[in-house]
Every structure is written in structure tokens, then in C-alpha cells.
Amino acid sequence: MKSIRKFVYAVVLTLSALNFAPILASAQDEAGTFTLPHEVLWQNATVPAGDYRFTLQPVGPSEMLTLRKLSGTPESFMLMVNDTDVADSSKTASLVINSKFGERYVSAMNLPQFEVTLHFAAPANSGKEVAEMHTASAASSAQ
């Protein structure tokens, strides 16, 4: 009788311990790889050309995109996602790269495999951009 009681006690203790153990998140972080053929600005970070692995993690009400460089000098970047949309599943995964005053920057990342499009802020005005704006306004007022 004592052995049965000890066995039941051990089972209850084990189940209780498992119940209080940290539970792994049921949702997996979305991840993938891509190649940047040239250096780009991504929000306020300069991301060099190379092969990258990305992970997308929910952080409160927004998303956090983490980039880790796989080729060359190891580098990592953490970028807050400004906005998300539902991705068009008929399109392929892609980065939307725009150009402003001769600098390329990432404005969006289409990830139809995860059913999301991520939107990023344009980089803040750089000194080069301000100088070009002054040059352009001076040239137009001289005419």
C-alpha cells in the first residue's frame, strides 16, 4: 500500500513540476535568407552587401526584424517594423528598394510565405541629402 502511495505521489509531483516549467512558445519565429547585391540603408542602419538570414519576431504590438550577415564580416541588425499588411500570395518574396538622392533604402519586405508585407521608415535626412537639397534649390533660384 505504501509503495502505491509513493508511486502516486511521485506521479503527481512530476506532473506538477512539468506544469510549472516554462512553456515554449507555440508559434515559431518566421525566418529565411536573402542576398543583398549592394549596400542599402535600412531605416537608419547601413546594411552592406552580402548574404543574410532574417528572423521576424512579434514584440508587443509590432514586429522586430533581425538580420544576421552570413558572408564576410559578421554583422547583425535589429529593425522595428513600422507597419504590416497582408501579403499578396500570388507574388514572390522580395525587398522593395527605393532611391533617394543617390542612396538606396529598403522601404518594404514582401513575405507571401508568411502572409505579410513589412514596411520600414525611410532613413532620416543625411548631411548629403540636405546639401543636395540646398544645391538644387540654389540652382533653381539662380535661373
- Asked if residue 50 has pLDDT above 70, the reply is yes
Please, is 8 exposed, middle or buried when counting C-beta atoms within 10 Å of its C-beta (0-12, 13-18, 19+)? exposed
This prediction has a pTM of 0.65
- What's the rounded mean pLDDT across residues 39-62? 90
Query: Phi then psi for 57, rounded to 5 degrees?
Result: -125, 135
Residue 128 — very low, low, confident or very high, per pLDDT cuts 50/70/90?
low
- What's the rounded mean pLDDT across residues 4-21? 46
Could you count the other beta carbons within 10 Å of the beta carbon of residue 118? 24
Residue 63 — very low, low, confident or very high, per pLDDT cuts 50/70/90?
confident
| Domain boundaries defined on the chain | 30-121
Specify the 3-state DSSP secondary structure of 29. coil
What percent of the chain stands above pLDDT 90? 43
